[in-house]
Amino acid sequence: MSHIEETSPHSSERLSAVTQIKEILESGIHQDIGSLIEDLRPEDLADILESSPPTQRSELWALFEEDYQSDIIQHVDEDIVQSLLGDKSGEEIATVLENVDDDNSADILQQLPADLTQDALDAMDAQDRARVEKLLLYPEDTAGGMMDTDTISLRPDITLDVVLRYLRRHQELPPMTDSVYVVNASDEFVGVLPLSTLLVSDPGLTVREMMVTETKALGAEMSEHDVAATFERYDLVSAPVVDEHNKLLGRITIDDVVDVIIDEADHSILGMAGLAEAEDTFAPIWRTARSRAIWLGANLITAFIAASVIDLFKDTIEKVVALAVLMPIVASMGGVAGSQTLTLVIRNMVQDELFQNNLAWLTRREVAVGLINGCLWALIVAIAASLVFQDTQLGLIIAAALVINLFVAALSGALLPSFLRSIGADPAIAGTVVLTTITDVVGFLSFLGLATIFYA
């Protein structure tokens, strides 16, 4: 059953405030927008900052008090952190980060120049600095870099009644706390006690009797991709993180994992176009142009390779002008078919669903699909070319070239990701460029080569 949900008054007011702020910034008229800011949550203001060009972004950021900047900075994309904090001193940055979670503080500091990061750490109080430096020991794309050190741990020999009384002493629990962690006298992780179990169990029972020991802790060196896969596989809300000695270091919550999933999706989508997902949408012109020039140059090289293949058959093209008209069809069909297979394989590779044994099966299937589609469209194109150019032989040539190119495209799309990863290249970024080169070269070579043989 479908139904229409009415927009709540609060939601309408929030959207109206966002629109008004954007209109004020676009108009360039300096007005007091303090009342509008009060109507918005930090997440909404972070979204406005991200969607604003650099000048407007700086104007809006300057309107916030430092304590409010602490709330907002936790929700902005990491790629614009430097534009917001880069001109501040270490002391000012430390003030902004004073009320920011440790894991977010570490992520923010990793986006700043090393000297500015050190100045900010020096300006923090000893306790905060120790916690943040502990997180900075790990790369930001690992479980250790993602974790939050704000955890609640218990000993296994205490009763549930003691646990309840202990938790009630807190003004609030850490966000997204669905369980508390159990450690032994050496702070080694031994299990978890879900809050749902705690609330419905006999208070006289001990933690040891009710804790769950099957839960596996995440190693601090585990990649963020593997962390996300673990959360997805076991439907986790939070998970403990331990060091190499199984000592509890912190925890990772689902909100951090959602960020990883979004980043990986961005990487896959933008990588296909040779763009970096970490790039600010409103980055300066020269910085953007420089980052894109690399892949444009790579594409130019591959274009020259394809052009050199065409040049080999220029005499044949001069004799049969129709070849020049039909050439793009062969290359384009191969490119689309190869991209379909490439995208499918990369997606399964990212989801850790592709292994050596099922890759062989998938490759065979994709090649079979390529041959079936190749024969189908070869027949259609052969009939059309024969009728348009009144040349049955030309129709047969382009049909054979299509079958060959779609076969090679499917095979390349299936095998390229594994090969590129084995040599240290990113399949999402390099795959499209390499595949396009293969399908263009094979398409032109098969079509013009067959034409040369038949028309010679």
Distance CA 80, CA 110 (A): 12
Angle between helices 42-50 and 54-62 (to 10 degrees): 150
Distance CA 190, CA 184 (A): 7
Torsion angle, alpha carbons of 11, 16, 19, 25, to 10:
-120
Looking at the chain, the whole-number percentage of residues with pLDDT higher than 70 is 87
Where is pLDDT greater, at 408 or 307?
A: 408
Given this model, what pLDDT does residue 382 score?
A: 94
Distance CA 350, CA 260 (A): 12
**Is residue 417 predicted with pLDDT exceeding 80?**
yes
Token duo for residue 388: 């348009």
Least confident of 26-40, 47-61, 284-298: 26-40
Overall average pLDDT of the 433-439 stretch: 91
Given this model, what pLDDT does residue 8 score?
A: 43
Overall average pLDDT of the 374-399 stretch: 93
Q: Tell me the pLDDT band of 102, cut-offs 50, 70 and 90.
A: confident
Overall average pLDDT of the 18-34 stretch: 62
Q: Tell me the pLDDT band of 110, cut-offs 50, 70 and 90.
A: confident
Given this model, what pLDDT does residue 223 score?
A: 93
**Is residue 413 predicted with pLDDT exceeding 60?**
yes
**Is residue 40 predicted with pLDDT exceeding 60?**
yes
Given this model, what pLDDT does residue 1 score?
A: 39
Which secondary structure element, helix H or strand E, spans residue 241, and what is its range?
strand 238-242
Given this model, what pLDDT does residue 6 score?
A: 39
Phi-psi region of 386 (alpha: psi -120 to 50; beta: other; left: phi over 0): alpha
Given this model, what pLDDT does residue 385 score?
A: 92
Q: What is the pLDDT of residues 335-357, one digit of tens each?
A: 999 999 998 898 888 777 777 77
Q: Tell me the pLDDT band of 211, cut-offs 50, 70 and 90.
A: very high
Average pLDDT, the chain: 85
Overall average pLDDT of the 243-272 stretch: 84
**Is residue 29 predicted with pLDDT exceeding 80?**
no
**Is residue 92 predicted with pLDDT exceeding 80?**
yes
Residue tagged 């303090």 (tokens) = 34
Domains of the chain: 9-146 (1.25.60.10), 153-271 (3.10.580.10), 285-455 (1.10.357.20)
Given this model, what pLDDT does residue 17 score?
A: 60
Q: What is the pLDDT of residues 359-382, one digit of tens each?
A: 889 999 999 999 999 999 999 999
Chain centroid, CA 246 distance in Å: 29
Given this model, what pLDDT does residue 440 score?
A: 94
Overall average pLDDT of the 210-236 stretch: 92
**Is residue 131 predicted with pLDDT exceeding 70?**
yes
**Is residue 10 predicted with pLDDT exceeding 60?**
no
Overall average pLDDT of the 20-39 stretch: 63
> For residues 209-246, b (16+ Cβ closer than 10 Å) or e, as one string?
ebbeeebebbbbebebbebbbbbeeeebebbbbbbeee
**Is residue 311 predicted with pLDDT exceeding 70?**
yes
pTM of the prediction?
A: 0.68
Q: Tell me the pLDDT band of 113, cut-offs 50, 70 and 90.
A: confident
Q: What is the pLDDT of residues 45-81, one digit of tens each?
A: 888 888 777 777 887 888 787 778 888 888 888 778 8
Burial-class residue 386 by CB neighbours within 10 Å (0-12, 13-18, 19+). middle
**Is residue 9 predicted with pLDDT exceeding 80?**
no
Where is pLDDT greater, at 274 or 11?
A: 274
**Is residue 402 predicted with pLDDT exceeding 90?**
yes
